[in-house]
Amino acid sequence: MTRRSIKELVRTSVRDLKPYSSARDEFQGDSNGMVFLDANENPFGSGLNRYPDPRQIKLKQVLASIKHVAVENVLCGNGSDEILDLIVRAFCEPKRDKLVILPPTYGMYKVIAGINDIAVVSVNLNPEFQPEVEEILKKSDANTKMLFLCSPNNPSSNAFQRSRIEQLIMNFDGIVVIDEAYADFSSERSFVNDIHRFPNLIVTQTLSKAFGLAGIRLGLCFASAFIIETLHKIKPPYNVNALTQQQAITALLDREKLNSEINLILQQRERLANALKNIKIVEHVFPSDSNFLLVKVDDARSRYEQLIELGIVVRDRSNLFGCENCLRFTIGTTDENKALIKALNELK
């Protein structure tokens, strides 16, 4: 099989684009002692009167060292949602190209495709919520530019088998995006360090989940230097603000906090899963590699509404393929999980 080069996969308009050059891009010398009159900023210092580093070099250096990749392999975005959109825009030609998603999966892939006028090819996961490799490859043609793998998958909560993912990366003639938003909760190894093996692989992660920083909006992207540079060309110049960059560096360096919170969430996940199995309305608890559980109940819609009346908001996922009568429970604190169990036990 002859496969297209990554360069061939990039949209022509993006390949030929001369990116915007910001004031901070143009002067990259030593800033010590310099008078900055180049960016039309307010000169009265508040600590935040200057534009942030558009390349987020300090943040990327920390990320590169933690993830064992080079700075050139990292892109930061305003949440991974921004990064996913950049990826689609960099590679998929509106009204012509298609991307493949594997339902049930994260809803934003379809929304991003819709916004960008990219057709969606859906290949359902199998009953164990694993990708059907042969079927995915069969449904791909010259216009399928991209495959989205969400692993661990939202909403099914499981990680995909590594061997299936590898077969897809090796045989799919296009870009394979692995969305690892929940990877910190999984016992499966991340694909971040496989970007050197596979030129068509892009891995995204986020500080919104395990790091507990959904409010600062920081998404991460790991890929070859060529892909990262291509995405960098089309990103808004100052997409990651100064406060986010500072806060993220602090959080990334505090491994103790991260690990202790992940451990607590994993302990709670196990306890909650066990407790749920003894509740009358619960029919099945799916195995989880994430910080949430997908749970089949007798009647998802009415249980969802009853829980709201008891002050607990969960997610009704029952309209998604393979998730009939399923609710999704995020793992909360010990007290929150106890409150959920108590409420579920009270339901008539």
Ligand X SMILES: Cc1ncc(COP(=O)(O)O)c(C=O)c1O
Positions that interact with ligand X (CB under 6 A)? 79-81, 106, 150, 154, 179, 181, 206, 208, 214, 219
Q: Which residue is nearest to ligand X (CB)?
A: 79
Closer Cβ to ligand X, 136 or 181, answer by number: 181
132: which residues sit within 8 A by CB, 6+ positions away?
A: 123, 124, 125, 126
Q: How far is the CB of 219 from ligand X (least distance, A)?
A: 4
Closer Cβ to ligand X, 10 or 184, answer by number: 184
Closer Cβ to ligand X, 189 or 197, answer by number: 189
Cα dihedral across residues 67, 70, 73, 74: positive or negative: positive
Q: How far is the CB of 179 from ligand X (least distance, A)?
A: 5
DSSP-derived pairing of the beta strands 292-297 and 282-285? antiparallel
Closer Cβ to ligand X, 10 or 62, answer by number: 62
Q: How far is the CB of 120 from ligand X (least distance, A)?
A: 16
Q: How far is the CB of 119 from ligand X (least distance, A)?
A: 21
Identify the burial level of 50 via C-beta atoms within 10 angstroms of its C-beta, where 0-12 means exposed, 13-18 middle and 19 or more buried.
middle
Q: How far is the CB of 283 from ligand X (least distance, A)?
A: 24
What is the identity of the amino acid at 347?
L
CA within 13 Å, CB half, 340: 25
CA within 13 Å, CB half, 96: 10
Closer Cβ to ligand X, 144 or 206, answer by number: 206
What's the CA gap between 317 and 325, in Å, rounded? 7
